[in-house]
Structure 1
Amino acid sequence: MNRWLLAGCTTLITCAAAHAAAPLTLEQIMAEPQWIGPPIERPYFSADGHSVYYSLKHGTGSIRDLHKIDLGNSQDTIIDAAGMNGADGNEVVYDRAHKRAAFVRNGDIFVRDLGTGQLIQVTRTAQDESAPQFSADDRAVQFRSGSDWYSYDFAGGVTSQVAIVKAEKDPHDKKKDDLQELQLRLFSTLKQSHDDKEAARLHAEEFQRGDSSRAPLPFYLGDDIRIASGDTPDDAQIADGSLSPDGRWLLLVAAPKSSAEAGKIGKLTRYVTESGYEEFENEHTRVGRNDPAPQSLLLLDLRAHEKYTLSYANLPGIHDDPLASVRALNAKHDKDTTKKDGAKKDDKTKTEPKERALQIPGIVWSRDGSNVAVALRSVDNKDRWIASIDFANHALIAQHRLTDAAWINWNFNEMGWENDNRTLWYQSEESGYSQLYARALGDKQAHALTHGKFEVGQPLLDDDGKFFYVRANQEAPYVYDVYRVPVAGGELQRVSQLKGVERFALSGDGKQVLITDSTAYMPAQISVVAADGSGAARQLTDTRTPAYKQLQWIQPQIVEVPSSHTKQPIYAKFYKPADFDASKKYPAVFFVHGAGYTQNVHSAFPYYFREQMFHNLLTQHGYVVLDMDYRASEGYGRDWRTAIYRQMGHPELEDLLDGKAWLVKNQSVDPNRIGLYGGSYGGFMTLMALFRAPDDFAAGAALRPVTDWTQYNHGYTSDILNTPQVDPAAYEASSPIEFAANLKHALLIEHGVIDDNVLFEDSARLYQRLIELHKDNFEIAMYPLERHGFVHADSWLDEYKRIYKLFETNLK
């Protein structure tokens, strides 16, 4: 008997359930997902392009096996411990002649000779090495270890440190105090000894500068900064920065150690623990309580051993105050509120500094090291610049500015250099959709390489420099495939004919594309296709279990719901019973996806695969289901994304109400028997629907919901609502707890107690608010061992038993 079928029949899914006619059960669909079959994880080409590696979950734990598929004979083998000695790592980089490939494996640097297959282990240390790149002349491989940079010379077989960076004061620059000055003036012997030691030190440093066989002199940057990312602790030694391939320059991102007053950090409490005692961990700081640290950009000349702080003063718009109108609106709001309730408002208005604070999310060098592109983003979220550097004058030169009155998208920010080492390419939403652009240094303006009302993402320039490969939804917003476009721009050329592409990679020789794709009920699998688009894609894996394959699922119908507020339709997945009868009236359930900016209406296997199976179960019990990509969702352009600026929960609710109208008019839905549910942002929207349109929805389940945006984190919330100190009106308009008095119908709240994303306090605070409002149609379910994303099958089952009961009680 097939081992997978045997395994399927001995788990929570029964043999009988493997038959198409068998009804679904909650116990089945909420079981450990191994009964479906594990998705492919982290696939990549081998360095020589002859094989493909991927990881696959082993059993129900956290163990992953590394697999290798020989593309010649399609043989799939699991790499054992001994085989790991010869395995390649992912994110392979190549020298220009494609004679060598470098990669990281288990935190060490390796180089493979592509002619002989020989593998050189460059490092074997307890510390993780990263960011391998070949030197401009291909004679060495450079990499980073902690806050230092190294180079391995192939000819000499020597690893040398190319830069030593210390976030501390130069010990030799100590200022003499009054007493020391007096001693050196009074006692010539002390003075002579001091001068001799100083002369010897300077002489040694001079020799060290000129002697390439010795370690370089360290750069002392002072003890008032940290060379680290904005979220890294002050004492971190992991440097953010980038070494030029020619070894001449080092760019560092620095932040002050004490840039802002730290916000109070709450304590998350674990109640069910191995020790039997309560245990505590830090929560995130709330939005606006500790703004991201402004970052500076340091340029180190490794040849001359000089350092320069690059000024932002010449960036266009750096002195603007994009929040001025928001402050004015809030000043009026505060004045009107004071008149209404008589309470005196504190002055929460903040003024912008003369020069706006920036952070540095990206640095990319040209292959020869002659040019560099630096991405800079304003802390107020309104601008993103891309700048090059004038090395002679140690100055930034702005090449592109993307500004948005709402907020700059955190996606679509890739950039790089074409093979001529002087033409910059980048992504931008300036047309309203993410497209690809290029600009040669010195040109007055950029030119668009792609055009259209669709999204272009994951750009990859082939090593020959002839084509950009991209993932795009040109065919339809819900269909994603791999395309390529000539480096000069033009029409997209489709490489494969798949519809659910998640990501892709090019082989080292540029002749093949490795694609991770999926379908509505098939988890992520991998295929290869010719890079020029000739021939069909060859599927390499299918990890589904036979038991799962035998089940018959309702294919979601993708529909266009007319919008009463936009010209664009609202795309949605629609599920209805197999025996749907238009002469009857049906109850309906809305599923509201999470994250806000994500896309759930697509042709791929959904992140919400359990929910999709639950929708199948609901249709078996006489419900219709609608799953909408409301405004704020990904995949539909900038205007769709930013419609919620300063008013979260308002445009989305309008879209849900349009969905209700469509169901009532076209799908025989009873307008009085409609419920909804969702998690995270979907939980937030469930609350907004029940509180702001209480007559339109008969029941709702809010899973791990945001109830008050002032309690959420800074990075996400400040983009959309600014900060509560600057824009309290936006928080008041966008937080469900402000509208809780309107609750009329049944509400179920479900939340993990150790959720470190949307804190359990969110639900507890709303629960107390509903108690004080004397509501009697709400309940809460707590899950002591769950974080934001549930991981235990028992919790999933309990959660959805309660949701199903809610709908059966209130919608039937």
Structure 2
Amino acid sequence: MKKICLLFLVVFGTIVSTFAQKSVLSVEKIMQDPSWMGTFPSDVHWSADSKTIYFNYNPENNPTDSLYKIQLSDTEKIIKVPAKEALGLIPSSGDFNEAQDLKVYTRNGILFLYDFNEHQEQQLLELGDRISQPEFLADEAVIAFQLSNNMFTYHLASGEIKKLTHIKDGEKPAKKEAQLSEKDNWLKSENLDLLQVIHERETKKEKRKAYREATKEAEKFTFYTEEKRLANLKISPDAKFVTFNLITPSKERKNTFVPDYTDVTGYTSDLDTRPKVGDEASKVEMAIYNLEKDTVYYVQTDQLPGIKDLPDYVKDYPERKWKEENRPVITSGAYFSQNSQAMVNIRSTDNKDRWIALLDLEDGTLKTLDRQRDEAWIAGPGIGYSFGGGTLGWLPDGEHIYFQSEATGYSHLYLYNVKNNKKKALTKGAFEVFSPSLSRDGKHWYLSSSAIHPGERHFYRMPVMGGKMEKLSSMEGNNKVSLSPDEKHLAILHSYSNQPWELYLKQNSDKAKAVQLTSGQSEAFKAYDWKDPELIHFEAQDGAKVPARLYTPAPSTANGAAVIFVHGAGYLQNAHKWWSSYFREYMFHNLLTDLGYTVLDIDYRGSAGYGRDWRTGIYRHMGGKDLSDQVDGAQYLIDELDIDSEKIGIYGGSYGGFITLMALFNEADTFTSGAALRSVTDWAHYNHGYTSNILNEPFNDPIAYRRSSPIYFAEGLEGNLLIAHGMIDVNVHFQDVVRLSQRLIELGKDNWEMAVYPVEDHGFVEPSSWTDEYKRILKLFNETLLD
């Protein structure tokens, strides 16, 4: 009898458990076209008169978003903008005069001027070729603009157009003198000796030629770019100098090709994609066009402090002789003050140094103001890459420059006085600053920061020379603010962990209340009670406190199994309080939790939002601390949430797929199963810009690549592995998983499978592909993690 009762209880318990572990969600539902969720605003911007908010929206469920507007005079109405009105809007790009009542800009390559006092637009120039980058000069009666790689000016009163630079592509034409053969030269000489008239005519001809050469005006100077490409044409406000970059393409660059087997033609086509890491980079130089002296000369970077410094990692290769030579650099376009001082941002191509320097326009020499050195790589919010300086510019006083730096370990805003050479930190603390900009009157900063919490973003106002940061946003989560041109209102895109983006309006005051303007969630989406994951920290083996999102099932449905999600992109944050860009994965985690799984989503080492040391924690060893963070997260689940150590799975895409492979290959005792999506398998086959920062170059630092690439550790696979990859992935090429699959075959591994998606790039587009992929992931976890 006891056996029968026990059997009944086991069977009944199984039925109850199975019934409880159902969800109104399904893979098919959450992976369908995202329009099922509703429509949510994006790309918010203001009209020039600050009376209208424009944004992209799609309440009619059209194939693509359209432009909509809300007018401050009637915020209850959301109006679709007619195509003609949209085409006539004043662009956000362009330049204001000092009084900010005039704006010059281009539309479709035509030059326009808008008068805000008269509310009138005036077409100034249409020249056939595309006009770009218009700006007011110090003499605001004159506008400078670019046309066909040259700088021009336009006088507003007279309409006079003047070409300032004479730059041409290609080689300077060589003067060709007719060269006579030995035979023809003898015949000519003989003829001149025999025929007196011919001799006299030839003599007069030579004299006329000599006279013309002696009396002609000097040719206008022309600069030829030769084989180089011109970029970043900039003019000083006093119109005395023009700076530009010259880029010499690498002759060693070798692109890789991705075959598309589903091309519309029926033939296999090759997609030209990118070179692999380590391919020789293009050479970048900066030149100055002196308009008064009518000549061009180059900026001198050979005296930058530390230009010959070798990176620390060279000590790992004592047998190699390293040359101490000037490292190649990339110089940004010039940043001009109102009084025509020039400043540049310079980065070493190994990305371990950034210099901010004053540029002497008369001779091209540099005076270093700030040097930031990082033995890993220079990055972080507002730091900028390549030609861009990030947050960088002059205050209106012409004495101070502003910039962001990770000097303290977090990206903060600084001022530097070029007269007394003093640097001042305007913000400080264990948080980061984002997108600072000056107020119209130059007396305040507007900026966003994570000062409240690493997982929140708020908008602040601060005095221009530093002081108290006045918090202007109040809603918990993320507040992406677009400030009206008159600075009286904030248009806020706000979201929370379980609430997608909506548009709010708020007066520019810390005491004002934000008013919601859009409500885009569909009834189907609102019908489910989306979970608000708990933000936690667990302790890593090195003592670090690792942030994560935790999804826990109801006690009655908990099955003792857990899934760890690894976000992609390397430098990205996902353990935060706003609507994730991984919204499909977020919904999948809700489904998993309904089914009894515990889900942990970790901001492992290398993630954004936590400062320099966290960002560079993966330097020279991807699959090091970023992987051990996943292992420590699994241990946290076992110790604190009573998860069965035999029932832990892991999955992720791109970088998350890479970590999944490293986990299955190197931590078989921790992870039973894993799904590696669009994963890097060998970093020597990835791109240069991302990979060389973290691992240097494979021929210079092979140790870093060997210990960071999953393909070298495939023999460690013991658990159950799903590999999924798009076949026309132009980011992480399909070749990556082809090579890995051959390695697994040669190793005799049979506990893996691969799903391929013939029409998908790195980011999947088709709902059918998303659905198929995530059904396979769910099947993998259900079959291998549950009894």
Could you state the TM-score of these two structures normalised by the residue count of structure 2?
A: 0.89
Counterpart of 1:564, as a letter, is Q
Distance change in 2, residues 1:763/1:421 (3 Å):
same
Q: In 2, Cα distance between the equivalents of 1:651 and 1:362?
A: 37
1:502 Cα deviation from its structure 2 partner: 5.8
Task: Give the match's secondary structure for 2:165.
Answer: strand
C-alpha distance after superposition, 1:524-548 (max 9, x if no partner): 3333333343412333333322332
C-alpha distance after superposition, 1:223-254 (max 9, x if no partner): 14221xxxxxxxxxxx3232223322211111
C-alpha distance after superposition, 1:155-182 (max 9, x if no partner): 23455444342233444x74879879x9
1:485 Cα deviation from its structure 2 partner: 1.8
Q: In 1, Cα distance between the equivalents of 2:324 and 2:128?
A: 44
Aligned to 2:313: 326
- Picking from 393, 398, 413, the partner of 1:416 is 393
Aligned to 1:370: 340
Aligned to 2:45: 44
Aligned to 2:260: 270
Aligned to 1:295: 284
Q: In 1, Cα distance between the equivalents of 2:560 and 2:332?
A: 50
Q: In 1, Cα distance between the equivalents of 2:206 and 2:62?
A: 69
8 Å contact from structure 1 (residues 426, 437) kept in 2? yes
Aligned to 2:552: 576
1:126 Cα deviation from its structure 2 partner: 6.8
- Picking from 471, 482, 491, the partner of 2:448 is 471
1:58 Cα deviation from its structure 2 partner: 7.7
Q: In 2, Cα distance between the equivalents of 1:743 and 1:48?
A: 62
Q: In 1, Cα distance between the equivalents of 2:62 and 2:681?
A: 33
8 Å contact from structure 2 (residues 459, 479) kept in 1? no
1:410 Cα deviation from its structure 2 partner: 5.8
- Picking from 79, 88, 100, the partner of 2:81 is 79
- Picking from 494, 506, 519, the partner of 2:483 is 506
Distance change in 2, residues 1:105/1:565 (3 Å):
farther
Task: Give the match's secondary structure for 1:559.
Answer: strand
Alignment of 1:386 with 2:376, yes or no, is no
Counterpart of 2:730, as a letter, is D
8 Å contact from structure 2 (residues 369, 421) kept in 1? no
Alignment of 1:702 with 2:676, yes or no, is yes
8 Å contact from structure 2 (residues 232, 333) kept in 1? no
C-alpha distance after superposition, 1:708-761 (max 9, x if no partner): 000000000000000001000100010001111000010000000000000000
1:59 Cα deviation from its structure 2 partner: 6.9
Aligned to 1:17: none
State the identity as a percent: 38
Task: Give the match's secondary structure for 2:774.
Answer: helix
Distance change in 2, residues 1:313/1:550 (3 Å):
same
- Picking from 602, 609, 626, the partner of 2:576 is 602
Alignment of 1:221 with 2:213, yes or no, is no
C-alpha distance after superposition, 1:288-331 (max 9, x if no partner): 022x2231110112233221211012211112222xx4234135
Distance change in 2, residues 1:716/1:743 (3 Å):
same
8 Å contact from structure 1 (residues 501, 515) kept in 2? no
Structure 2 counterparts to residues 651-662 of structure 1, below 5 A: 651-662=625-636
Aligned to 1:91: 93
Counterpart of 1:46, as a letter, is S
1:455 Cα deviation from its structure 2 partner: 0.6
Gaps of 5+ in 1: 1-20, 206-216, 228-238, 333-348
Structure 2 counterparts to residues 585-734 of structure 1, below 5 A: 586-734=560-708
Distance change in 2, residues 1:156/1:92 (3 Å):
same
- Picking from 278, 282, 286, the partner of 2:272 is 282
Aligned to 1:247: 239
Gaps of 5+ in 2: 1-21, 190-198, 384-390
Q: In 1, Cα distance between the equivalents of 2:276 and 2:244?
A: 29
Aligned pair count?
Answer: 742
8 Å contact from structure 2 (residues 560, 597) kept in 1? yes
Counterpart of 1:255, as a letter, is I
Counterpart of 1:221, as a letter, is Y
8 Å contact from structure 2 (residues 721, 753) kept in 1? yes
Alignment of 1:359 with 2:346, yes or no, is no
C-alpha distance after superposition, 1:611-657 (max 9, x if no partner): 00000000111101000000100000000011111001110111111
1:364 Cα deviation from its structure 2 partner: 2.2
Distance change in 2, residues 1:558/1:356 (3 Å):
same
1:222 Cα deviation from its structure 2 partner: 4.1
Structure 2 counterparts to residues 112-151 of structure 1, below 5 A: 112-124=114-126, 128-151=130-153
C-alpha distance after superposition, 1:377-402 (max 9, x if no partner): 10111001111212344322211111
Structure 2 counterparts to residues 12-91 of structure 1, below 5 A: 23-56=24-57, 63-74=64-75, 75-91=77-93
1:90 Cα deviation from its structure 2 partner: 2.3
Task: Give the match's secondary structure for 1:474.
Answer: coil
Distance change in 2, residues 1:195/1:376 (3 Å):
farther
1:261 Cα deviation from its structure 2 partner: 4.1
C-alpha distance after superposition, 1:541-595 (max 9, x if no partner): 333223323321011111111222144x111111112x2259x651000010001
1:194 Cα deviation from its structure 2 partner: 4.1
8 Å contact from structure 1 (residues 371, 422) kept in 2? no
Distance change in 2, residues 1:807/1:421 (3 Å):
same
Aligned to 1:214: none
8 Å contact from structure 2 (residues 170, 225) kept in 1? yes
Could you state the TM-score of these two structures normalised by the residue count of structure 1?
A: 0.86
Task: Give the match's secondary structure for 1:475.
Answer: coil
Counterpart of 1:479, as a letter, is E
Distance change in 2, residues 1:721/1:192 (3 Å):
farther
